[in-house]
Amino acid sequence: MIWVDGIATPTLPADDRGLQYGDGLFETMRVVTGRVPLLERHLARLNAGCGRLALPAPEPAALRSEIAAACAGHNDAVLKLVVTRGSGGRGYRAPPGPRTRRVVSLYPRREWQCEPVSASIRARTCLTRLAIGGPLVGLKHLNRLEQVLARSEWQDDTIAEGLMLDAEGMIVAGTMTNLFLVIDGALQTPALDRCGVAGIARSMVLELAAELDLQVAQRRITVSALGDADEIFVCNSVVGVRPLSELDGRALATAPLTARVRAALSSRGLAA
Amino acid sequence: MIWVDGIATPTLPADDRGLQYGDGLFETMRVVTGRVPLLERHLARLNAGCGRLALPAPEPAALRSEIAAACAGHNDAVLKLVVTRGSGGRGYRAPPGPRTRRVVSLYPRREWQCEPVSASIRARTCLTRLAIGGPLVGLKHLNRLEQVLARSEWQDDTIAEGLMLDAEGMIVAGTMTNLFLVIDGALQTPALDRCGVAGIARSMVLELAAELDLQVAQRRITVSALGDADEIFVCNSVVGVRPLSELDGRALATAPLTARVRAALSSRGLAA
């Protein structure tokens, strides 16, 4: 099902700036028993992104009402919200009073997303690199062709995620997840100051690390650091926290610290 | 007017991957007396881009017929062709047999585009930077949010173009044009090995430079080199070649070499 500006319809105007230029943002949210557990965090990130793009944020009441209507009666689903700068303008130049357009779609969760959250996943490292710098760093914007190309690198359904490096060879994230390493009992995650998306689940892990007495460092992480990691996990709002059981054919052992993080996140309402 | 897969319609499916991920390419073409003078070059670039994205190229006969129908009877217009990976797939992963979607739209030319091609333009330097590296370098793809943000930096209608630097401060291009400098009687243009779009007009200027006995270098160009330039011009398929009369308030003198390049391009059918 898809709703455009609150109306159930399978189409939207072909002059939408989201299509023409990728001029917009999105949020992908887990739906559990008819509601989005992390809705406030998603809406806060969306509003912050709208601020950075000078995109008028969607009217909150209308947006909440549309999301609630879309979720109603669904026990386990994924809701995607796309927000664009609407129609019009002359080339890249936006129209003087842009009318933000909302596109809400509801999907079933996919196979590996539905496995028990304790289930570890197999992952690989992608050849497709992420460009460095520019004004979009950290945003969950609609310019996602790099991720599409990375995801096209493998067809093996038993591999759930691919890790991406930046153009200088530093580890950044999975195609649809953020990434943490456990090394000597402490957490490390790539700094997102040059590329990548600042994920909701990632921000929750960072917040909870202190409560769990875990040190956490945001830093540049080399490929060789992956080899030093005792545990590696990926996370997002839809799958929660998932340890890697294998990366590029190398088996990774059990993940006790990842399990602690997962339990803490579940207690805070993260989809699990 | 907009045609989607050859059918005149103002809408397209809301699950189109062009909207959801920017998963596609585009061409912006000048229309003169009912036809696109540089059609073969545009289609060749489109096909090359489809190859890089593993996107099935549109069926040539259907595409040519749609473009011809859209142009018919229009003396002076702009035709935009968007090609996307169509609907479907699971997240970033494309569907197994993607059906490429074509979106053709026809627009009037805008003010500064319609001025005599000899008319010089005022330009400014943008603060918005271009990210460096990754798999999209040189492609005319749909991920254009950097250009949208750059174009939002000014509202003065007498400024026609903004120049963009990359994340390391090197000059790359205009928001919608490529860029050439004339220094000591030779041409210089930014190398497009780290970001930017390899434009049709740019490639024609490069080809003609030899015939005009002009040296041309593709290289990294610093901001200070702009100050050393005797002439600066921008180019694309819609506006042809346009010398800058002013950059960031600095007046630039007459542009005799730019005029030679312009004349040579006009004789090859570049929109002028």
State mean pLDDT over A169-185.
Answer: 97
Output the pLDDT for position B255.
85
Mean pLDDT for chain A? 94
Sign of the dihedral through C-alpha A126, B21, B130, B201: positive
Q: Considering only alpha carbons, which residue of chain A is nearest residue B107?
A: A90
Contact: B146, A128; criterion CB under 8 Å: no
* DSSP letter, residue B38: T
Enumerate the residues of chain A whose CB falls inside 8 A of the CB of residue B20.
26, 80, 82, 142, 144
Contact: A144, B110; criterion CB under 8 Å: no
Output the pLDDT for position A254.
79
Contact: B134, A130; criterion CB under 8 Å: yes
Q: What confidence tens digit (pLDDT) does each residue in B65-103 have?
A: 999 999 999 999 999 999 999 998 889 999 999 999 999
**How confident is residue A110, by pLDDT bands cut at 50, 70 and 90?**
confident
The C-alpha atoms of residue A232 and residue A251 are separated, in whole angstroms, by 11
Mapped onto helix, strand or coil, the DSSP state of residue A130 is strand
Token pair for B236: 């694309």
Residue with tokens 């007459």: B254
Residue with tokens 């917009």: A24
Burial of B202 (0-12, 13-18, 19+ CB in 10 A): buried
**How confident is residue A111, by pLDDT bands cut at 50, 70 and 90?**
confident
Are the C-beta atoms of residues A140 and B19 closer than 8 Å to each other?
Answer: no
| Distance in Å, alpha carbon of A165 to nearest chain B alpha carbon | 10
Are the C-beta atoms of residues A77 and A104 closer than 8 Å to each other?
Answer: no
The C-alpha atoms of residue A200 and residue A81 are separated, in whole angstroms, by 15
**How confident is residue A90, by pLDDT bands cut at 50, 70 and 90?**
confident
pLDDT for residue A256 is more than 70: yes
State mean pLDDT over A121-146.
Answer: 98
Contact: B152, A93; criterion CB under 8 Å: yes
Mean pLDDT for chain B? 94
pLDDT for residue A29 is more than 70: yes
Q: Which residue in the set B4, B145, B166 is minimally distant from A21, CB to CB?
A: B145
Output the pLDDT for position B81.
98
**How confident is residue B254, by pLDDT bands cut at 50, 70 and 90?**
confident
Q: What confidence tens digit (pLDDT) does each residue in B8-62 have?
A: 999 999 999 999 999 999 999 999 999 999 999 999 999 999 999 999 999 999 9
Contact: A105, B14; criterion CB under 8 Å: yes
Contact: A129, B133; criterion CB under 8 Å: yes
**How confident is residue B112, by pLDDT bands cut at 50, 70 and 90?**
confident
Output the pLDDT for position B117.
62
Q: Which residue in the set A82, A132, A146 is minimally distant from B135, CB to CB?
A: A146
Output the pLDDT for position A170.
98
The C-alpha atoms of residue B116 and residue B159 are separated, in whole angstroms, by 16
Output the pLDDT for position B103.
98
Q: Are strands A186-190 and A216-219 parallel, antiparallel or unpaired?
A: parallel
Contact: A148, B92; criterion CB under 8 Å: yes
Output the pLDDT for position A266.
83
**b or e along B52-61 (b: 16 or more beta carbons within 10 Å of the residue's beta carbon)?**
ebebebbeee
pLDDT for residue B271 is more than 80: no
**b or e along B13-40 (b: 16 or more beta carbons within 10 Å of the residue's beta carbon)?**
bbbbbbbbbbbbbbbbbbbbeeebbbbe
Where helices occur in A22-59 by DSSP H, the ranges are 39-53
Output the pLDDT for position A117.
62
Rounded to the nearest 10 degrees, the angle between the axes of helix A200-211 and helix A39-53 is 120
The C-alpha atoms of residue B30 and residue B39 are separated, in whole angstroms, by 9
pLDDT for residue B269 is more than 70: no
Output the pLDDT for position B113.
76
Token pair for B216: 């041309």
* Residue closest to B180 by CA, chosen among B212, B152, B149: B212
Q: Which residue in the set B54, B84, B167 is minimally distant from A133, CB to CB?
A: B167
Residue with tokens 């990774």: A252
Q: What confidence tens digit (pLDDT) does each residue in A37-59 have?
A: 999 999 999 999 999 999 999 99
Q: Centre a 10 Å sphere on the Cβ of residue A182 and count the other Cβ atoms it contains.
A: 20
Q: What confidence tens digit (pLDDT) does each residue in A192-248 have?
A: 999 999 999 999 999 999 889 999 999 999 999 999 999 999 999 999 999 999 999
pLDDT over 70 for what percent of chain A? 98
pLDDT over 90 for what percent of chain B? 89
